[in-house]
Amino acid sequence: MNIHPDESIFNIWYNLLYLLTAIVSFFFTITFYIKGRSYPQRQYFFLYVISLLLIILFGTRGQNVGTDTLNNIRYFMGWAKINDLSTLNDLGLYTISIVLANFTSQLDIFLSITAALFISPLIISIHLLRLKNPLLFFFAIFSFFFFLSMGINIQKQGIAYSFFILGMSLIFRKKYSISSIAFLIAFIFHASIIIPISILLLAFKFKNINLKYLIVVYLISTLLAIINFNLNNLFTMIPIVNEITETRLEGYYSDKYNYKVGFRPEFWVFNTIFGVLGYFTLKNIKNIELKWLAKHYQTLFIAYIGLSSFFFIMFSASFSDRFGILSWTFIPFLLLPYFQTNRTLKIFNTLTIYTLCIFVFVIFKWI
């Protein structure tokens, strides 16, 4: 695969920025782990600087960086015209594109604003969560292999991801009406976000479910993924459901895309790592003074396992990683306890989480 020179330069700057974040985060991690001191104001300073640099980097990347950038800028550049909004699937991106096109024709401005729409909700979420280690929380998200893709390729889903996290953070602050607005914005940018929203509501309703049932569901979905179960074939046999899902899922199950389908062991391992972490954290979270988080942690874990199970079943479809992002929205919240306490829960603590973040960035970025 040929890589445009602009993309090579972009990747160098991106990796250098990650390295800078990792070095700074390491010092705060060690200080917190050993001494229990977090220095949140200093962390916020670095958080703002790194966030600004990311917005600038994403915003000035040009149209040659990112396999999907040309598709993301088509409305802004006037390459695509919409005459009937009922046929539009990109309402959020389309609206931003048309509004900005009335004020500027500069591509860098458009890309910078969409980058800010991706980064800013994460920063606001961190403030709402009142974390002792705000930079470390952001570093964890920065380390995920899909963070770069959400910033430059699947921008619609990236913005939806950030607003979903904002909505979750507002729920923790008991600002339910505002959280609904955040979820609505997320839905407008990418309708698939309705799946984690629905799973979250179900998780709240069944928050006292026996964890053994969750493990059984997880194992069954893994087995279905291994045998390449086709969910679309099942839906076509269910009245009404088949009409709703036909047009949306048919494209994912067609063979016109050059996309690897079938069991994806790398994705299964990735989700299972955080599933194990979440399980041991849930079993030991009552040992630390985080009552507000302990109250909701089982709900978060149930939602994550449910979405991971759905993700595995979708391995037989094209672009299954986009379904993966729906489950990955909950990973930052599974890590939350380790940004608030320096105590060890079984084998996990702030230092092991930092090491895990480095591992995820280095290993999984190549999948």
Q: Specify whether 181 is located in the same domain as 37.
A: yes
State whether 171 and 206 are in the same domain. no
Least confident range from 143-147, 187-191, 238-242: namely 238-242
Residues 30 and 164 in one domain: yes
pLDDT tens digits, one per residue of 52-98: 999 999 999 989 898 889 989 998 988 888 776 666 778 899 899 99
CA distance 142 to 305: 22
What would the DSSP string read from start to end of 285-331? Answer: GGGSS-HHHHHHHHHHHHHHHHHHHHHHHGGGSTTHHHHHHHHHTTH
Cα–Cα separations (whole angstroms), residue 53 to 59, 71, 121: 10, 24, 16
What pLDDT sits at residue 108? 94
Task: Please indicate, yes or no, whether residues 159 and 44 belong to a single structural domain of this protein.
Answer: yes
| pLDDT reported for residue 252 | 53
The confidence score (pLDDT) of residue 99 equals: 93
User: Which band of pLDDT confidence, cut at 50, 70 and 90, is reported for residue 366?
Assistant: low
Neighbours of 135 (CB within 10 A): 27
Q: In the prediction, which pLDDT does 241 show?
A: 39
DSSP state of 104: -
Residue 78 · residue 17 · CB < 8 Å: no
Residues with Cβ within 8 Å of 234's Cβ and at least 6 positions away in sequence, in order, are: none
Give the integer Cα–Cα distance in Å for 257 and 49.
Answer: 39
First to last CA, the chain: 15
What is the pLDDT at residue 269? 93
Whole-number average pLDDT of the chain: 87
Domain shared by 34 and 59, yes or no: yes
Choose the final residue of a domain: 189, 211, 235. Answer: 189
Structure tokens at 42: 């200093």
Q: Are residues 170 and 211 in the same domain?
A: no
User: Would you place residue 276 in the very low, low, confident or very high pLDDT band (cuts 50, 70, 90)?
Assistant: very high
Is the pLDDT reported for residue 197 higher than 50? yes
32-37 mean pLDDT: 93
Please report which confidence band the pLDDT of residue 300 belongs to, taking 50, 70 and 90 as the band edges.
Answer: very high
- Listed residues 138, 159, 189: the one ending a domain: 189
Same domain, 15 and 163: yes
SS3 helix, strand, coil % of the chain, rounded to 5? 75, 0, 25
pTM over 0.85: yes
Q: Domain end: 123, 155, 189, which one?
A: 189
Say which residues have a Cβ less than 8 Å from residue 9's Cβ, sequence separation at least 6.
Answer: none
At 10 the pLDDT is 94
Residues 230 and 249 in one domain: yes
Task: Give me the pLDDT at residue 305, please.
Answer: 95
pLDDT in tens, 107-126: 999 999 999 999 999 999 99
Q: Among the residues of 153-290, which ranges form H helices? A: 155-172, 176-189, 194-205, 211-226, 231-235, 241-252, 265-284
| Whether 167 and 284 share a structural domain | no
Q: Is the pLDDT of residue 288 over 80?
A: no
Contact 348, 338 (CB under 8 A): yes
Same structural domain for residues 341 and 237? yes
Q: Would you say residue 159 has pLDDT above 80?
A: yes
The alpha-carbon radius of gyration of the chain (Å, integer) is 20
Across the range 24-41, mean pLDDT stands at 95
Range of the domain at 324: 193-367
**Given this model, what pLDDT does residue 344 score?**
87
On whether both 135 and 209 belong to a single domain, the answer is no
Residue type, 347: I
What is the number of structural domains in the chain? 2
Residues 314-343, mean pLDDT to the nearest whole number: 87
Q: Flag whether pLDDT at 130 surpasses 60.
A: yes
φ/ψ of 344, rounded to 5, equals -95, 125
Same domain, yes or no, for 67 and 152?
Answer: yes
pLDDT category at 5 given cuts 50, 70, 90 is low
